[in-house]
Amino acid sequence: MRIWGYVLLTLGIISLIFFGYMWLEGGDVELRALAIAVLFIVTGFQFVRSGGGILEERPSDLTEIADGTSPSRPLTAEVPMSPQVAAVIKKEGARTWRVSQFFCGGMLLLFAGFFGVLWIQNAGKSRETLRVMAPVMFGIVLFIYAILWLTTRMPVLKDMRAASYLRTTGPVEVVRTWNGAILRLPDRAFLVNGRRVIEPLRSLDQGTVDYTPHGHLILAAWDSQGSNVYRAPGYDADYGS
């Protein structure tokens, strides 16, 4: 989680340096281009700040867990994998990977659009900086695609071969970001996407969440009373089973 934050911070800072160099060379720099660089920096900072478990900064919540939700069980337990759950993971993983591909495609189109505008605005001026920026922008998209494959697709493939998945009980917090949300559990934090997952989780302050250990696909969630608030299509495990 925090790795993504450092990646975005680095990309944002590099982008600002390029745009600053271009401005010093006499080129016109779109405010929207600067806004994207600032967005990367702000999002990266948010990932770094919220990338740990809740108990890392609120250890007092451990007492609340012991007094309320589950005094005898560990915060996170392993649940044996079944063919039915593996099929759900495969389906949900494919959907998540399509979203990642659309994200990279959108970034490529966005960078291409900004580059085209800058090329036209700098007609009659030196375009050496733009010629350098073109492969750099394309390289950034390829870099993000590779990171997404390593952090989104490959983990799901591992989950499909795993012998178990995870169930965490305790405090739950959802931190919204510009393109999704960070789900914070007692001992870990990770990205989640899609309103059908995020909105039910936002209603929880204490509860139980089932998810995969590598790709962090949300399978189900229950509140502290055991009432189901979210269930992935096809997932039929019950609370406490």
pLDDT score recorded for residue 194:
80
**Which pLDDT tens digit goes with each residue over 193-211?**
788 899 999 989 999 999 9
Region at 216 (left for phi over 0; alpha for psi -120 to 50; beta for the rest) = left
Whether 1 and 190 have beta carbons less than 8 Å apart is answered as yes
Q: Where does 60-196 show beta strands of DSSP type E?
A: 76-80, 164-171, 173-177, 180-184, 189-192
Q: What are phi and psi of 2, to 5 degrees?
A: -70, -25
Whether 129 and 189 have beta carbons less than 8 Å apart is answered as no
Rounded to whole angstroms, how far apart are CA atoms 132 and 140?
13
**Which pLDDT tens digit goes with each residue over 47-85?**
776 656 666 655 555 545 445 544 444 589 999 999 999
Residue 52: DSSP 8-state: S
For the question of whether the overall pTM of this predicted structure is more than 0.85, the answer is: no
Please state which of the ranges 4-8, 162-166, 223-227 shows the lowest mean pLDDT: 4-8
**Which pLDDT tens digit goes with each residue over 113-156?**
777 777 777 766 666 766 777 777 778 778 888 888 887 889 99
Whether 164 and 86 have beta carbons less than 8 Å apart is answered as no
Q: Taking the domains of the chain in order of start, what are their residue ranges?
A: 53-81+164-241
As to burial, measured by CB atoms within 10 angstroms (0-12 exposed, 13-18 middle, 19+ buried), residue 86 is: middle
Banded model confidence at residue 162, pLDDT cuts 50, 70, 90:
very high
Half-sphere exposure of 151 (CA within 13 A, CB side): 16
